[in-house]
């Protein structure tokens, strides 16, 4: 899904919020900068003004929300950094993944399907935890590839794997939700 | 007190004029209006000192419109022409409304929004709601003796786009300038949070007469951030009444009841429900039209039994909202109870059990939404100084999407996105030489289009003929701070554009509203016309002042030619604004707005730059 604009008034999402362009982000700092900026541009702050000012405020607030949502989520942040570095095409086109990774994902997928069928929420929770742990390691790998070695091809590989894993996490969430109701 | 009042009433004392702003809680059962007076939010009472206006409208055969207590008292006499809980019909089609068989109205068949045939002709829910809002506007004008700059109108957080649009239309029809549509639980959170200097995660559980909302908010110094919201826009105290109603019919083995008896039984059912909040047995006694008596007793146990599923039904969205926020019940610091129906003990118990803590009941559940709305209206009107204000970040309750091949929905903006928000999505043609494309905008979480709410259909025409899949049509969804959607579609290779405000299939067109307004003006005296003119003049004056002050601050941002153009627009507006041609005033305001669009953009850019760099310096010092 395309964001509305990847830059706004000449600023990318990092510049807009006043953050250095890097994968590693201080979450608290991000929150603070986001709120400070919204406090300035949000339509509520311009509600008593004329049409033109209100429209500009909406555009800014929209863009600040977009920047914040993009940078807050590590995977979206990584994809955005690859996009800024001109490497986003690799994510869409190159679909090859290591056989070992695929095997493991397939096993996990089957385990989720079984646990779903059996409405075994404990096992689903378990799988959830295991996947989360693996993903944390992947994110560390992303940080190294983007911030330290600038190996964008490697980063694109990890991003694709993470997209796979996130899909599985949301499947587990859906199964848990179904089991609860 | 009186001694300090130097200026005449109506005269402004401060150099920076205090703008009169009101907050309106347009409820299913009761509506209220509030304002901020001397820094305090207060509900404005009617001339008999009553704060609540029952949301009941009676259209009698003589052309009188009765709103409120009188209409409520007479409802069983003329049920067909007495509309209660009209909010349930807002932005809805006939097939969407539950228990329609038990309602005494003469529904008009047809496409789109439901309409009722009354003694005063066919009425849409928008018009009926406008009559309620008008009553509140008059109450406020009398109490404040002045021109009201604007109003914040509250809506259930779970209202979809069609319901929000209908509410905004009703407000416009009632002659109100809508500063913002505000979600009811968020309004309650403002009233609660500012009062209690609360920080942390809070849940607002709002069960009114016809709607249920649950919102999860994060309160930090001066920021109210909604993390997730959920609910059911057709679940409320009315449904508890209906369970008692059905129970009574079964117990007393009543044959199909007449509309009068039905309305009477409904009223008794509601009374019994409210009585059971404080007692363990409620008597239900009715004299039917036939002269027969119904005499029943409902115990708390029986009541709990027949309403158990309703109570459970509120916990489902609660669970879902917490999950969306990524939180567990134990992480919630407080649960604020809003809405008259939260007085029921079984609700209090269920909420306490789920969150593992006693809910907060220290605000009047009837008034808190209106007070919060007034507080926000005062802020939006510009009556508070920077630094003495707060920021509200709200979300959309339901995902927005488009229909794709095979009747499936493609989500464009997911639920719980912080607003304002915009997203774009690309679509393509599926036939060679295809020159038009039908776009169907829907709202909801389900995969099948037929399970979602249809908001609008429109067509992008004039696509240059290409092979299938070659055209690139970019559809942009923009949701504003009111939670209202507009959609634009553009063919990328040629730049061909189509734009719509999403006027839901259930809404009124701008022309319809204009016609209704004109209609109401021509029916009333010259007064209404003069009033509308006066409003336009006040608006024009405000705009002129805003532009002049912007020019004083930031004139260097304009080239001499640009400056001359703005000055020209200003002069034009000043020339027409004191005349009585409202159309000319509107046109001149429009021109000034357009003429200053680029200027506004540059000003914001410069001011953000200044704010950011200012902060950097501050950071270094710290
Ligand atoms: N003491 C009470 N016990 C139970 N229900 C009550 C009590 N007082 C009010 N209610 C119910 O609360 C509902 C109205 O709540 P309110 O917040 O005014 O609704 P709305 O916001 O939809 O107008 C009605 O269903 C009414 O019967
Ligand atoms: Mg309410």
Q: How many CB atoms lie within 10 A of CB A46?
A: 25
Beta strands in B147-302 (DSSP E): 150-155, 178-183, 200-207, 212-220, 223-232, 281-287, 293-299
Lowest mean pLDDT among B63-67, B93-97, B182-186, B423-427: B93-97
Break chain A down into helix, strand, coil percent, rounded to 5.
75, 5, 20
Would you list which residues of chain A are within 8 Å, Cβ to Cβ, of chain B? Answer: 1-4, 9, 18, 35-45, 47-53, 55-62, 65-66, 68-69, 173, 177, 180-181
Ligand 1 binding pocket includes B343 (Cβ within 6 Å):
yes
* Structure-model confidence comparison of residues A180 and B413, the more confident one: B413
Q: Across residues B314-337, what is the average pLDDT?
A: 94
Closest approach of chain A CAs to the CA of B167, in angstroms? 19
Q: How far apart are CA B507 and CA B513, in angstroms?
A: 10
* Residue B14 reports pLDDT greater than 50: no
Can you give the pLDDT at residue A93? 67
Is the per-residue pLDDT at B506 higher than 70? no
Contacts of B230 (CB under 8 A, 6+ apart): B158, B213, B214, B215, B317, B318, B320, B321, B324, B397
Q: A–B: how many Cβ contacts below 8 A? A: 125
Most confident of the following: B151-160, B528-537, B607-616 = B151-160
Compute, in angstroms, the gap from residue B244 CA to the centroid of ligand 1. 15
Closest Cα in chain B, distance from residue A169 (Å): 14
Over range A108-127, report the average pLDDT: 88
Q: pLDDT-based confidence at B490, cuts 50/70/90?
A: confident
B100 with B94: CB under 8 angstroms? Answer: yes
**Enzyme catalytic residues of B:** 25, 87, 184, 206
- Does the pLDDT of residue B118 top 80, yes or no? yes
pLDDT of residue B397: 93
Find the helix packing angle between B237-251 and B259-275, rounded to 10°: 110
CB contact under 8 A, A52 and B607: no
Kindly state the average pLDDT of the residues A82-105. Answer: 80
d(CA B424, CA B395): 18
Give tens-digit pLDDT for A13-22: 999 999 999 9
The answer to which of B9-18, B129-138, B240-249 has the lowest mean pLDDT is B9-18
pLDDT the model gives residue B336: 95
- Which of B341, B343, B348, B367 is the best mutation target for the ligand 1 pocket, counting ligand atoms within 8 Å of the beta carbon and taking the most? B341
d(CA B535, CA B526): 14
Q: Indicate the burial class of B539 (C-beta count within 10 angstroms; 0-12, 13-18, 19 or more).
A: middle
Q: Is the minimum distance from the CB of B341 to ligand 1 under 6 angstroms?
A: yes
Q: Residue range B159-164: average pLDDT? A: 93
CB nearest to A2's CB, from B320, B425, B604:
B425
Residue nearest to atom 19 of ligand 1 (CA): B208
**What is the fold of A99-180?**
Monooxygenase (1.20.1280)
How many CB atoms lie under 10 A from the CB of residue B474?
16
Contact B131, B65 (CB under 8 A): yes
Sheet holding B485-491: strands in order across?
Answer: B421-427, B473-479, B485-491, B496-501
Residue with CA at minimum distance from ligand 1 atom 13? B209
pLDDT score, position B616: 46
| Residue B584 structure tokens | 């000319």
Angle at which helices B161-173 and B510-523 cross, to 10°: 30
Give B195 Cα–ligand 2 centroid separation in angstroms.
19
In degrees and rounded to multiples of 5, residue A134 shows phi and psi of -60, -40
Please name the residue that has the structure tokens 């609910």: B231
CA of B490 to the centre of ligand 2 (A): 40
3-state secondary structure labels for all residues of B344-375: CHHHHHHHHHHHCCCCECCCCCCCHHHHHHHH
Protein residue closest via CA to atom 4 of ligand 1: B274
Inter-chain CB proximity A1 and B605 less than 8 Å: no
Which segment of B96-110, B138-152, B301-315 scores lowest on mean pLDDT? B96-110
Q: Are B483 and B161 in contact (CB under 8 A)?
A: yes
Other C-beta atoms closer than 10 Å to the C-beta of B554 total 15
Cβ separation of A41 and B419 shorter than 8 Å? Answer: no
Q: What are the tokens at B539? A: 């608006």
B571 or B505, higher pLDDT: B571
Distance CA B393, CA B356 (A): 27
Residues of chain B with C-beta less than 8 angstroms from the C-beta of A69: 417-418
CA distances to B216, B327, B374 from B332, rounded to whole Å, are 8, 8, 27
> Under an 8 A CB cutoff, do B597 and A2 touch?
no
Chain A residues in contact with B218 (beta carbon < 8 A) = none
CATH topology of domain A2-72: Helix Hairpins (1.10.287)
Residue B327 has pLDDT above 80, yes or no: yes
- DSSP one-letter string for B571-601: HHHHHHHTSS-HHHHHHHHHHHHHHTHHHHH
For residue B380, list chain A residues with Cβ-Cβ distance below 8 A: 44, 47-48
Regarding predicted confidence, which is higher, B459 or B328?
A: B328
Q: Give the residue carrying structure tokens 């109003």.
A: B151
Measured CA to CA in angstroms, residue B271 lies from B106, B237, B541 at distances of 26, 11, 51
Nearest neighbour of A40 by CB, restricted to B19, B412, B608 = B608
- How confident is the model over B94-121, as a mean pLDDT? 85
Q: State pLDDT tens for residues B548-594.
A: 988 998 999 999 999 999 999 999 999 998 888 888 998 999 999 99
- Tell me whether residues B392 and A44 touch, CB distance under 8 A: yes
CA of A180 to the centre of ligand 2 (A): 30
Q: What is the ipTM of this complex?
A: 0.88
Reply yes or no: is the peptide bond before residue B455 cis, omega within 30 of 0: no
Q: What is the pLDDT of residues A9-51, one digit of tens each?
A: 678 999 999 999 999 999 999 999 999 999 999 999 999 888 8
When pLDDT is cut at 50, 70 and 90, the band that residue B6 belongs to is very low
Q: Which percentage of chain A shows pLDDT scores above 70?
A: 90
Q: Mutation test of ligand 1: which of B274, B340, B361, B370 has the most ligand atoms closer than 8 Å to its C-beta?
A: B340
| Span B241-297, pLDDT tens digits | 999 999 999 998 887 888 889 889 999 999 999 999 999 999 999 998 888 898 999
A66/B422 touch (CB, cutoff 8 Å), yes or no: yes
Spell out which residues of chain B touch residue A65, defining contact as CB-CB under 8 Å: 417-421
- pLDDT score of B359: 96
Q: Distance between CA B441 and CA B560 in Å, rounded?
A: 45
- Residues of A with CB below 8 A from B223's CB? 35, 39
CB of B97 closer than 8 Å to CB of B238 = no
Q: Return d(Cα B92, Cα B67) in angstroms, integer.
A: 22
Mutating to test ligand 1, I would choose from B24, B25, B29 the residue with most ligand atoms within 8 A of its C-beta, which is B29
Query: What is the pTM assigned to this prediction?
Result: 0.88
| Structure tokens that stand for B152 in this block | 């914040």
CA-closest candidate to residue B157, choices B179, B132, B127, B187:
B187
Taking the CA of residue B593 and the nearest CA in chain A, the distance in Å comes to 5
**What's chain B's average pLDDT?**
87
- For position B617, what pLDDT does the model report? 37
Assign B79 to helix, strand or coil. helix
CA distance B588 to B499: 23
Question: What is the pLDDT at residue A98?
Answer: 82
Q: Give the position of tokens 């009811």.
A: B184
Specify the domain boundaries for CATH 1.10.287.110 within chain A.
2-72
Q: What local confidence, expressed as pLDDT, does residue B500 receive?
A: 57
Domain ranges in chain A with CATH number 1.20.1280.20:
99-180
Instruction: Single out the residue of B89, B154, B99, B155 nearest to residue B124, CA to CA.
Output: B89
User: Given phi > 0 = left and psi -120 to 50 = alpha, else beta, which region is A96?
Assistant: beta
Give residue B341 CA to ligand 2 midpoint distance, Å.
9
Phi, psi of B329 (to 5 degrees): -55, -35
* Ligand 2 centroid from CA B367, angstroms: 9
Q: Across residues B525-549, what is the average pLDDT?
A: 79
pLDDT class of A1 with cuts at 50, 70, 90: very low
Ligand 1 within 6 A of CB of B238: yes
């Amino acid at each position: 899904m395309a964001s509305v604009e990847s830059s706004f008034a000449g600023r990318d999402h990092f510049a807009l919020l006043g953050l250095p362009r890097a994968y590693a982000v201080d979450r608290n700092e991000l929150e603070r900068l986001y709120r400070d900026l919204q406090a300035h541009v949000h339509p509520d702050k311009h509600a008593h003004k004329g049409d033109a000012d209100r429209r500009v405020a909406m555009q800014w607030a929209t863009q600040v929300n977009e920047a914040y949502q993009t940078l807050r989520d590590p995977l979206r942040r990584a994809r955005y950094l690859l996009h800024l570095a001109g490497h986003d095409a690799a994510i869409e086109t190159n679909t090859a993944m290591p056989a070992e990774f695929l095997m493991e994902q397939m096993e996990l997928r089957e385990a989720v399907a079984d646990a779903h069928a059996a409405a075994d929420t404990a096992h689903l929770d378990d799988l959830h935890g295991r996947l989360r742990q693996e993903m944390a390691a992947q994110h560390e790998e992303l940080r190294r590839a983007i911030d330290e070695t600038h190996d964008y091809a490697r980063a694109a590989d990890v991003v694709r794997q993470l997209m796979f894993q996130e899909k599985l996490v949301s499947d587990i969430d859906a199964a848990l939700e179904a089991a609860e109701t | 007190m009186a001694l300090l009042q130097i200026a005449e009433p109506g005269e402004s004392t401060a150099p920076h004029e205090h703008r009169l702003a009101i907050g309106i809680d347009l409820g299913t059962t009761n509506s209220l209006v509030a304002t901020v007076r001397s820094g305090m939010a207060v509900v404005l009472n009617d001339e008999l000192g009553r704060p609540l206006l029952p949301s009941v409208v009676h259209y009698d055969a003589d052309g009188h419109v009765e709103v409120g207590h009188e209409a409520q008292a007479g409802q069983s006499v003329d049920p067909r022409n007495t509309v209660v809980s009209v909010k349930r019909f807002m932005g809805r089609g006939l097939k969407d409304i539950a228990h329609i068989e038990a309602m005494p109205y003469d529904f008009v068949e047809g496409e789109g929004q439901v309409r009722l045939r009354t003694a005063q002709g066919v009425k849409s829910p928008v018009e009926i709601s406008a009559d309620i809002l008008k009553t509140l506007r008059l109450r406020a004008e009398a109490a404040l003796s002045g021109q009201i700059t604007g109003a914040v109108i509250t809506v259930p957080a779970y209202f979809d786009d069609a319901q929000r649009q209908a509410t905004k239309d009703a407000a416009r029809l009632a002659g109100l300038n809508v500063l913002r549509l505000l979600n009811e639980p968020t309004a309650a959170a403002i009233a609660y949070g500012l009062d209690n200097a609360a920080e942390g995660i809070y849940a607002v559980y709002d069960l009114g007469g016809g709607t249920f909302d649950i919102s999860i908010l994060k309160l930090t110094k001066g920021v109210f951030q909604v993390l997730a919201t959920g609910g059911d826009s057709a679940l409320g105290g009315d449904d508890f009444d209906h369970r008692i109603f059905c129970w009574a019919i079964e117990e007393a083995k009543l044959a199909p009841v007449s509309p009068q008896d039905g309305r009477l039984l409904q009223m008794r059912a509601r009374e019994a429900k409210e009585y059971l909040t404080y007692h363990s047995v409620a008597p239900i006694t009715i004299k039917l039209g036939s002269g027969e008596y119904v005499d029943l007793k409902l115990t708390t146990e029986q009541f709990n039994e027949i309403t158990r599923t309703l109570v459970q039904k509120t916990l489902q969205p609660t669970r879902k909202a917490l999950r969306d926020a990524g939180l567990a019940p134990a992480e919630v610091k407080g649960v604020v109870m809003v809405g008259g129906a939260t007085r029921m003990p079984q609700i209090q118990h269920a909420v306490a059990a789920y969150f593992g803590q006693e809910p907060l009941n220290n605000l009047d559940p009837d008034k808190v939404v209106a007070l919060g709305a007034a507080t926000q209206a005062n802020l939006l009107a510009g009556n508070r100084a920077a630094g003495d204000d707060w920021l509200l970040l709200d979300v959309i309750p339901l995902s927005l999407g488009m229909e794709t091949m095979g009747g499936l929905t493609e989500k464009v903006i997911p639920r719980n996105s912080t607003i304002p928000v915009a997203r774009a999505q690309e679509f393509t043609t599926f036939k060679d030489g295809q020159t038009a494309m039908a776009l169907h905008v829907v709202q909801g979480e389900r995969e099948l289009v037929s399970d979602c709410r249809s908001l609008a259909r429109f067509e992008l025409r004039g696509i240059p003929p290409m092979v299938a899949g070659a055209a690139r049509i970019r559809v942009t969804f923009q949701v504003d701070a009111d939670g209202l959607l507009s959609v634009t579609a553009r063919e990328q290779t040629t730049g061909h554009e189509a734009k719509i405000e999403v006027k839901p299939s259930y809404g009124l067109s701008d022309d319809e509203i204009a016609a209704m307004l004109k209609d109401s003006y021509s029916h009333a005296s010259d007064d209404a016309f003069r009033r509308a003119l006066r409003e336009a003049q006040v608006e024009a004056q405000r705009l002129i002042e805003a532009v002049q002050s912007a020019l004083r601050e930031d004139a260097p941002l304009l080239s001499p030619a640009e400056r001359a153009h703005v000055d020209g627009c200003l002069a034009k507006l000043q020339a027409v604004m004191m005349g009585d041609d409202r159309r000319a005033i509107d046109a001149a305001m429009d021109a000034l707005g357009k003429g200053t669009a680029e200027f506004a953009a540059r000003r914001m850019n410069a001011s953000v730059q200044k704010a950011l760099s200012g902060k950097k310096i501050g950071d270094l010092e710290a």
